Structure 1
Amino acid sequence: MDADRFEAMQRSREWFHSLVLLPGAWTVIRVDGRSFSRFTEEHFDKPFDERFGALMAETAQTLFTELDARYAYTESDEISVLLDPSFDMFGREVEKLVSVTAGIASATFTHRAGIPAHFDSRIWMGTSVGDVVDYFSWRQADAARCALNGWCYWTLRKDGKSARAATQVLARSSKADKNELLFAHGVNFAELPAWQRRGVGVWWESFERVGYDPVREVEVAAVRRRARVERELPMKEEYRALIAALTEPTS
């Protein structure tokens, strides 16, 4: 069998789908840590570890810049990256995007932490700015819910309850009950760091940089952009307004 025929035969056995992102759709790629409940319990403080939060923010920033995204948001062990409808990297192939982004997240986190970590990836699509705003409102609401549950669970565990007992207490507790539980242990949930309760956002911001023109021998100012990592996000309607603003056309 000649080499060309042999190669063609092997390539015909490669199995992949041909899904692409819908034309004109806003796209979010969400990466999640694989088995991170056990992973973080083994390597980080609970319920929140400043180092882990910083690692997730750095990983989000890397994904954001690598994809030249509109916005990135991280809470708990997940990162959501918003892609413009005109995004065309990898021909918008879904299979390529989910594999590459999971790889970037895994490599970045592992390199910075010095501990092997794995992420998976999935795709969300919306047809309007309203869809995008709803998506990120949903994820921020999840951040608040997870933060409250996490603080309650680990407060109970540190108070001597077993994992099963702590879970049972939370299963029959309302949001008000959980806040009261924390308050009884000296924790005011509303006063905890905003990044724990609301997540961390990343977006582009413009800044002026002064340089020197050796030809004209004068200082010149140029507008550049950089990734802004925001750990004090607003919430509810203010957050929705921020997301809407970040989807506005760029010049």
Structure 2
Amino acid sequence: MRLVQLSRHSIAFPSPEAALREPNGLLALGGDLSPARLLVAYQRGIFPWFSPGDPILWWSPDPRAVLWPERFHISRSMKRFHKTSPYQVTLNHAFDQVIDGCSRERDEGTWITPDVVQAYQRLHELGHAHSIEVWHGKELVGGMYGVSQGGLFCGESMFSRRENASKTALLVFCAEFVHHGGKLLDCQVLNNHTASLGAVEIPRRDYLLQLAELRKVPMPSHFWVPRSLFLLP
């Protein structure tokens, strides 16, 4: 299969089934990071991921890593930590700070370039991208962000500046998300960290079927309103 060059004059994508098997479902290159193109990409199970200085690369992995929020694995040590946790968790209070943290807190470098930051900030302003923040007092110590697709949340990145901060973000968000009707989190490509939290791999075909159905599942209108989050009993 041949890698497709996208046009700046059309936001159409090839079928995800055309993605290369290796590496990780590379599908296309080029185009831009406009809100319209990004939204079409997420609706089709495609996401951008590329290194600074490279062309924009678009991916649709097979298999796909996902996490059913009710199956989030909380270790015994995390349970003990959370009982006396000093953290507070909020939703959509500091998107710009969270994506900035995700872009900086990477020993191996980052794909979250200034252009990517700006693109997802636009998606946030349009109500499609969201952040979960973890605070210790007034200090932002961790968080995550992603893109909503109805009852499915596409996680993009997370960061942690203190012990268990990013795990706290995901733990509390999963509980809140499933409580309000959310069904699935997209983790894109499985790694040791997400696997330890309960993420698994499923065939891309199955992910695309889930995406098509869950996009039709609306979250309550108030769900994404900026607010504090708490771990429900």
Give the TM-score normalised by structure 2.
Answer: 0.22
Greater share of strand? 2
Larger radius of gyration: 1
